[in-house]
Chain A
Amino acid sequence: MQNLYLRHFKSYTATALMLLATLIVLTPLCLIFIHILKMGFSSLSLDFFTQIPKPTGESGGGMANGLFGSALLILLASCLGLPIGVLGAVYLTEFNGGRLATAIRFSADVLAGIPSIITGMVAYTLLVLPMKGFSTLAGAVALSLIMIPIVLRTTEEQLKMVPGTLREASLALGVPLWRTSLKVILKSASKGVVTGILLAIARVAGETAPLLFTALGNQFWSRKLTEPIAALPLQIFSFAIAPYEDWHKLAWAGALVLVVIMFTLNLGARLLGRQKRYS
């Protein structure tokens, strides 16, 4: 047996090292946060929300078209991806198909880890090549491909937590299974499902890589779904790597807006998730 003091000394040292590691981890993350707040607020103005980017060399301008584009892309992607994700999860919980269900779960998890740029390439071959042009539609499909596995898995987790007695009670009253699933199971898990959906939207809202060669980006407003469209993350990217001080400022403002959107969605999801636990 080692000396008791030595053992305590070792323990305290280990604890101190863990504290140190935590501080090291938090430092760059806090720095990023502080920079976004500082630079973002100093460059944010009303123009940001109402103007489109000015041509190279002119100062001012905003990212109104990017904000609109992002909103439209997310809306379209949600219309495509959410029904598939949610109803697919209903299948996994209601008709637990043994091996097939396991295979689906596993692929969903694996799919969620595939780099988003690959999703963009696939959407490119599926939509941009046949349609002979970059489009809003292709961007939305790329985003929905990212949403589906996330929504599927989070929804399934929530549906699994609905007590079996609820299902049995409904079936015993003669309600068909499909109505039971939709009106009883899905409804009683709705808060948790919405939490998952919000998180999926938050994840997709910041995606840049899959949009690079699907939505492509646009300096102006986009009028048709078959035209390239601007998106907030795309604009942040192209403005950040451009050599102009003015554009860097706009990129910081865009970053601040994007982070606020993300945190709002995440906080909303968290609050909903917490409420669920009490009820």
Chain B
Amino acid sequence: MQQHDSAVLKKIMATEAETSCAVRSGAHGDRIFRWLTFLFAAAVLLILGLMIFEMTKESLPAITKFGWGFITGSNWDAVQGDFASLPFLYGSIVSSILAILLATPLSVATALFITEVAPKRVGGMAASLIELLAAIPSVIYGLWGVLVMAPWLQQTVQPWFVEHLGFLPFFSGAPYGVSMMAGVLILAIMIVPIITAISREVLLAVPQSQREAAVALGATKWEMIRIAVLPYGRSGVLGGVILGLGRAIGETMAVTMVIGNTPQISLSLLSPAYTMPSVIANEFAEATNALHSSALMEIGLMLLVVTLIINALARLLIWKVTKGQKGGAA
């Protein structure tokens, strides 16, 4: 018996050796193929590393010259060679956070309406409409913002705020149209499709059995959403919101066109402001000297670091959710 087994084993090994001989013609190609595709895949890592390296290298002159004062100061003077970025940081943070606060409830409610309430057909139509609108380039949002929305804000909306709420510091000053308010609104309009699309995906991943269980226990539609759907999709929706935040902070063209581009820190939503990407967009191509472009690079570097962190967080959250979904389905 023992003898017989080892004979079979030898035979198998011989066949294997033969096969590998026959395959050898391809083995060489396979090795080249493996390395070639690896190089291309690794290019992604390389690009990311190169981005961080180049941005850091180019901003070193500004970092060594201004130190922490670059973040805490608010003087931006290309003629005197004195650069500090607080007004841009303020503009970016305030506009993005207000836009997120405005967009999130609307987006999540819309995603809920599409997935849970609307008939499948209507929901599908609304979903593809919103997805299509997410594809509109930001320069077109900007065009609409500066030629249609800003004049409307200046003539209709902002005077109303000045008249009725002008005693609040948030609505003091003259209505310019192009303002922090315009920036927040255009950002909110632009990130709504993103958050809605991701929320919808996450909500669709909620197992049907969860909903059925809730309904079987006598839950109304809203109770079903609150008990069975929302808790299940919470971290995925949060991932979508964070992703939207990353988009809002990095959004350049539309904001540049409507926010007024004035480096000042003002509580009033009616006054013009400035954001980090906007100052880069406006000044980088015409930077007067090496220090000026280095200062802009440092703003870019801060933007890069912030968006890296935000995106990594969002991806981890979304990955966690969708992986769970795939594992469940398999």
User: Do chains A and B interact in one complex?
Assistant: yes
Residues of A within 8 A of B (CB): 7-8, 10-11, 13-15, 17-22, 24-26, 28-29, 31-33, 35-36, 83-85, 87-92, 94-95, 97, 101, 103-104, 106-111, 113-119, 121-122, 124-126, 134, 145, 148-149, 152, 174-179, 181, 202-203, 205-209, 212-213, 216, 233, 236-237, 240-241, 248, 251-252, 255, 258-259, 262-263, 266, 270
Inter-chain CA distance A91–B148, complex, in Å, is 48
Shortest Cβ gap from B190 to chain A (Å):
10
Inter-chain CA distance A212–B26, complex, in Å, is 47
Excluding A25-B192, A84-B43, A259-B140, 6 further A-B contacts by CB distance (< 8 Å) are: A29-B189, A88-B42, A121-B58, A176-B23, A178-B29, A205-B137
Q: Determine if A178 and B189 form an interchain contact, defined as CB atoms under 8 angstroms apart.
A: no
Residue B48 at the chain A interface, CB threshold 8 Å: yes
Shortest Cβ gap from A258 to chain B (Å):
6
Residue B225 at the chain A interface, CB threshold 8 Å: yes
Residue B246 at the chain A interface, CB threshold 8 Å: yes
Q: Are A259 and B136 also in contact (CB < 8 A) when A87-B36, A115-B252 are?
A: yes
Q: Are A241 and B257 also in contact (CB < 8 A) when A32-B136, A111-B47, A259-B140 are?
A: yes
Residue B44 at the chain A interface, CB threshold 8 Å: yes
Q: Determine if A21 and B285 form an interchain contact, defined as CB atoms under 8 angstroms apart.
A: no
| For the complex of A and B, 7 pairs with smallest distance between CB atoms | A176-B26, A206-B137, A115-B250, A178-B33, A21-B109, A91-B37, A113-B311
Residues of B near A33 (CB, < 8 A) are: 133
Q: Are A29 and B140 also in contact (CB < 8 A) when A92-B41, A117-B281 are?
A: no
Q: List 27 A-B contacts (CB under 8 A).
A: A7-B223, A11-B221, A19-B113, A21-B113, A22-B113, A87-B36, A87-B41, A88-B42, A91-B41, A103-B45, A110-B48, A111-B47, A114-B304, A115-B304, A117-B280, A118-B55, A124-B284, A152-B44, A175-B26, A176-B23, A179-B26, A207-B137, A209-B281, A233-B253, A255-B143, A259-B136, A262-B136
Interface residue ranges of B220-271 to A (CB < 8 Å): 220-223, 225, 243, 246-247, 249-253, 257
Inter-chain CA distance A103–B45, complex, in Å, is 8
Q: Determine if B315 and A106 form an interchain contact, defined as CB atoms under 8 angstroms apart.
A: yes
- Output the residue of B40, B45, B48, B314 with the most chain A CB within 10 A: B40
Q: Determine if B37 and A114 form an interchain contact, defined as CB atoms under 8 angstroms apart.
A: no
Inter-chain CA distance A36–B136, complex, in Å, is 11
Residues of A near B144 (CB, < 8 A) are: 31-32, 35-36
Q: Determine if B189 and A121 form an interchain contact, defined as CB atoms under 8 angstroms apart.
A: no
Residue B300 at the chain A interface, CB threshold 8 Å: yes
Residue B126 at the chain A interface, CB threshold 8 Å: yes
Residues of B within 8 A of A (CB): 22-23, 25-27, 29-30, 32-34, 36-38, 40-45, 47-48, 50-51, 54-55, 57-58, 105-107, 109-110, 112-114, 117-118, 126, 128-130, 132-133, 135-144, 146-148, 189, 192-193, 196, 220-223, 225, 243, 246-247, 249-253, 257, 277, 280-281, 284-285, 297, 300, 303-304, 307-308, 310-312, 314-315
Q: Determine if A266 and B132 form an interchain contact, defined as CB atoms under 8 angstroms apart.
A: yes
Q: Determine if A209 and B277 form an interchain contact, defined as CB atoms under 8 angstroms apart.
A: yes
Q: Are A125 and B54 also in contact (CB < 8 A) when A87-B37, A263-B132 are?
A: yes
Q: Determine if A90 and B277 form an interchain contact, defined as CB atoms under 8 angstroms apart.
A: no
Shortest Cβ gap from A106 to chain B (Å):
7
Q: Determine if A18 and B110 form an interchain contact, defined as CB atoms under 8 angstroms apart.
A: yes
Inter-chain CA distance A8–B24, complex, in Å, is 71
Q: Determine if B300 and A117 form an interchain contact, defined as CB atoms under 8 angstroms apart.
A: yes
Q: Determine if A206 and B138 form an interchain contact, defined as CB atoms under 8 angstroms apart.
A: yes
Q: Determine if A213 and B137 form an interchain contact, defined as CB atoms under 8 angstroms apart.
A: no
What's the dominant secondary structure at chain A's contact region?
Answer: helix
Residues of B near A236 (CB, < 8 A) are: 139-140, 143
Inter-chain CA distance A110–B305, complex, in Å, is 11
Residues of B near A87 (CB, < 8 A) are: 36-37, 40-41
Shortest Cβ gap from A140 to chain B (Å):
15
Q: Determine if A8 and B220 form an interchain contact, defined as CB atoms under 8 angstroms apart.
A: yes
Residues of A near B50 (CB, < 8 A) are: 122, 126
Q: Determine if B307 and A258 form an interchain contact, defined as CB atoms under 8 angstroms apart.
A: no
Q: Determine if A208 and B30 form an interchain contact, defined as CB atoms under 8 angstroms apart.
A: no
Residues of B near A121 (CB, < 8 A) are: 55, 58, 280, 284, 297, 300
Q: Determine if A118 and B250 form an interchain contact, defined as CB atoms under 8 angstroms apart.
A: yes
Q: Determine if B55 and A174 form an interchain contact, defined as CB atoms under 8 angstroms apart.
A: no
Inter-chain CA distance A36–B118, complex, in Å, is 29
Q: Determine if B222 and A91 form an interchain contact, defined as CB atoms under 8 angstroms apart.
A: no
Residues of B near A258 (CB, < 8 A) are: 137, 140
Residues of A near B23 (CB, < 8 A) are: 174, 176
Shortest Cβ gap from A214 to chain B (Å):
9
Shortest Cβ gap from A123 to chain B (Å):
10
> Contact partner of A252 among B29, B43, B143, CB < 8 A?
B143
Shortest Cβ gap from A256 to chain B (Å):
9
Inter-chain CA distance A97–B39, complex, in Å, is 13
Q: Determine if B280 and A208 form an interchain contact, defined as CB atoms under 8 angstroms apart.
A: no
Q: Determine if A22 and B147 form an interchain contact, defined as CB atoms under 8 angstroms apart.
A: no
Q: Are A113 and B139 also in contact (CB < 8 A) when A104-B42, A176-B26, A209-B277 are?
A: no
